Amino acid sequence: MTRKWRFEILLLLLVIFENPDRAPAQANPSKKLPSVVILATGGTIAGAAPTGTQASYTSGAVTIDAMLAAVPGIKDIANIKGEQISNVGSQDMTFEIMLTLAKRINVLLSQNDVDGIVVTHGTDTMEETAFFLNLVVKSEKPVVLVGSMRPSTALSADGPLNLFNAVGVAVDPNAKGRGVLVVMNDWIHGAHSLTKTSTTAVQTFMSPLRGLVGICNYGKNDFFNTPPWKHTTGSEFDIAGISRMPRVDILYVYADMSPDLIDASTANGAKGIVIAGVGNGNMNKASLEAAERAVKKGVVVVRSSRVATGSVGRNVEVNDDEMNFVASDELNPQKARILLALALLKPRSTSEIQNLFYIY
C-alpha cells in the first residue's frame, strides 16, 4: 500500500469516527431498518385503569412513547416515529378524524423514507376505519391497524405484543398490495371481511366469510390469502378535496319494527340509509314501504343484514329491481355505510352503486 493510500484510508476512518451519520450503511446496521410511522388515535391500547384487575378504564390515556416503552425489541425491527392523530375511544371515531388520518397516511406513504404505517385504534369501530382506509389510501405500502382488548395497565395486557406484531407486518414486503390490514392476537385480517365478535375476549376479531389474510407471531408472518376486492391503488374513491362526508344512517330491523324510524332518518337529512335487516336483508312490510318512500325522496337504501355471516343477495326475498334498493352483498351494515358514504360523494345511479358493492 502506498503512503498516499494509507493516508486516505486514515482520513476516511477519521471522518467516520467523528461523524457516524456519514458512515457507510454497513457500519451502522440500524440505518438499514425499515421506517414505520405509528399514527395513534386512542382506544383501549392506549387505555389505563387504576389497578390491573379493574374492568373499567379510560380509553386513550397513554401516549405513543409510553406505548412503545412497553414493547421491548420493537426498535430492533423498525425505525419508528409516532404522531398523535386523535385520542379517543373509537366509539367517538368520526368521519372527520378518518379523513384527517387518511390524508396524513397518503402524505406519509408518498415519501420514500416511509415504508409502512401502523394505526393504533380502539377495537369498537376499527373495522370501519380499516375499511374506509382500504378504499381511500393511495399506496401499496402496508397500512396496519392494531388495538387491544385490555388496557395497558391490565393483567396480561395484549397491547404490547399486538403492537410488536403490527410493526412486524408493516415492515414485511409480503404485506404489500393486500389492502389495509388489521393485526390482533396473532391474526392478520383483511379490511373487507373482519368484524368484532366478542365484547371482551382477546380473540374478538374474526373474518367469517373469507378467512384470514395470514398469521403472525413475534414479528414472523405467514401470508396465505389475498383479498379479491378492489382497494387502495385500485380504488376510484379520492378524498383529497373532501372535508365532509354525507350522512348515512344504519337502521336495525327487529320483529314489528316501527317504520317511522326510516321516515325520521330521511326527514333529518340522511342521503343514504343502510338497513341492518333480518335474515337476507329483510324487513317487515310497513318498513319496506317506508324504505320505498325514502327512495322516492332521493335517499339511497342499501339492504344489509344483522346476521353475522353470509351475503345479502339482490332480488332474493325483496324485489330490489322494483323498489330500487341496493343489496350489500358481503358487507355488514357498518361497512356498507362506509362504502355508501363514499359512493354518495358524486352522483351515481342505483345500479352503479350496486356494482360498487360487488367490486369493493
**Per-position DSSP letters for 92-139, written without gaps between them:** G--HHHHHHHHHHHHHHHTSTT--EEEEE--STTHHHHHHHHHHH---
* φ, ψ for residue 255, nearest 5 deg: -55, 130
Query: Torsion angle of alpha carbons 243, 305, 210, 117, nearest 10°?
Result: 20
Give whichever of 68 and 242 is closer to ligand ASP, judged by the CB atom.
Answer: 68
Find the residue with minimal CB distance to ligand ASP.
Answer: 122
Binding site for ligand ASP (CB under 6 A): 43-44, 59, 89-91, 122-124, 147, 149
Using a CB cutoff of 8 Å and minimum separation of 24, what contacts does 52-58 make?
Answer: 52/153, 52/154, 52/155, 53/154, 53/155, 57/151, 57/153, 57/154
Q: Smallest distance from the beta carbon of 122 to ligand ASP, in angstroms?
A: 2
Measured CA to CA, the distance from residue 51 to residue 60 in angstroms comes to: 16
Helix (H, G, I), strand (E, B) or coil at 300: strand
Output 148 or 235, the one with its CB closest to ligand ASP: 148
- Of 312, 310, 303, 305, the C-alpha closest to 350 is 303
Task: Report whether 157 contacts 55 (CB < 8 A).
Answer: no
Contact 152, 67 (CB under 8 A): yes
C-beta of 123 vs 287, nearer to ligand ASP: 123
- Judged by beta carbon, residue 147 or residue 168, the one nearer ligand ASP is 147
Could you give the residue ranges of the DSSP H alpha helices within the chain? 3-18, 64-69, 74-77, 95-109, 126-136, 159-170, 260-267, 285-296, 320-323, 333-343, 350-359
Minimum distance of ligand ASP from residue 125's CB (angstroms)? 6
Do residues 144 and 183 make contact, with C-beta atoms less than 8 angstroms apart? yes
Q: Which residue in 44, 123, 129, 266 is the catalytic one?
A: 44
Smallest separation, CB 96 to ligand ASP (Å): 17
Known catalytic residue at 44: yes
**Closer by beta carbon to ligand ASP, 23 or else 68:** 68
Assess contact for 163 and 73: CB atoms under 8 A.
no
C-alpha cell at 180: 389495509
Least Å distance, CB 124 to ligand ASP, is 3
Q: Which is nearer to ligand ASP, 271 or 337 (CB)?
A: 337
Smallest gap from Cβ 132 to ligand ASP, in A, equals: 15
Nearest distance in Å: CB 196, ligand ASP: 8
Residue numbers annotated as active site: 44
